[in-house]
Amino acid sequence: MRSFRSSAIILTLFMLLLVAGAAFAFLLQGGLVLRESVLEAQATADWINQQKAQTELLLGASEATREASFSALATAENNVLLLDGQLVASEQEKETRVAGLETQLATAEADLATSEAGAQNQLPMVGFIEPRNRTLLSPGQPLRISIVASDTGGLDSVRVLTDGRVHISYTDLNAQTLITRTTSWTTPNEAGEHTIAVAAMDVDGGTSEAMITVIVSAVGTPTTTATPTTPMPTTTLMPTATP
């Protein structure tokens, strides 16, 4: 009987030991799982912090880009206003110049009408409407040439010459007393001064010539110098040729 009780006690102690071992193993495993969970949570928190930092950087860059865009837009608006002002000033200058030329032509017509009866042998009058004398140009730049010629007895021919060579001749004038003509010329590639002349001959054989100088410059932006041109009569008859 005593031996049975001893065996029962030993068995009970062994069972308690097994339960205690199982409990310890369970607690150890739970601790490991909890530690892994803590590490995963820490890694997730670090990843979230990294994403947050990257997002803040992107937001900062986006804000800088937005401010730069606003600045560029403001600059563009200022440039548009400046260009509008320059365009208005250019149009006003052009209108003033055209009005001045019309006044000059009207005055010339009035003078011709007044002296028509007693000036049949007067030499032709020639001049340039455009370009202006001493205009600065770039090599190979197209240039508009407008001339005016008049003679009380009637015009026979008018020629435009560049650097002494005939550029164009007008021979079908039918004794008109006043003409205006426009042609175009491409500036030479050689820098320097180049002459443009207009020569007119009336039906009586009298001739007159007007000449201006343009400057071809290889450097800088072409500008114009306002130097008025006046007809320069001459008795030298230049050769007539058709280009």
Domain positions in the chain: 1-115, 123-233
Alpha-carbon distance of 76 to 113, in angstroms, equals: 55
175: left (phi over 0), alpha (psi -120 to 50) or beta: left
Q: Among 93-102, 119-128, 181-190, 226-235, which is the least confidently predicted range?
A: 226-235
- What does the pLDDT average to over 9-15? 84
Q: Among 128-132, 135-139, 216-220, which is the least confidently predicted range?
A: 216-220
Amino acid identity, position 4 = F
Global model pTM greater than 0.85: no
Q: What is the pLDDT of residues 39-66, one digit of tens each?
A: 888 888 888 888 888 888 888 888 888 8
In this model, does residue 127 exceed pLDDT 80? yes
Structure tokens at 226: 């306002």
In this model, does residue 239 exceed pLDDT 50? no
Burial 54-70 (b: 16+ CB within 10 A, else e): eeeeeeeeeeeeeeeee
What pLDDT is attached to residue 123?
93
Classify 206 as helix, strand or coil.
coil
Alpha-carbon distance of 224 to 136, in angstroms, equals: 6
| Matching CATH number, 123-233, of 2.60.40.10, 1.20.1290.10, 2.60.40.650, 3.10.450.100 | 2.60.40.10
What pLDDT is attached to residue 221?
47
**Cα dihedral 160, 165, 170, 176 sign:** positive
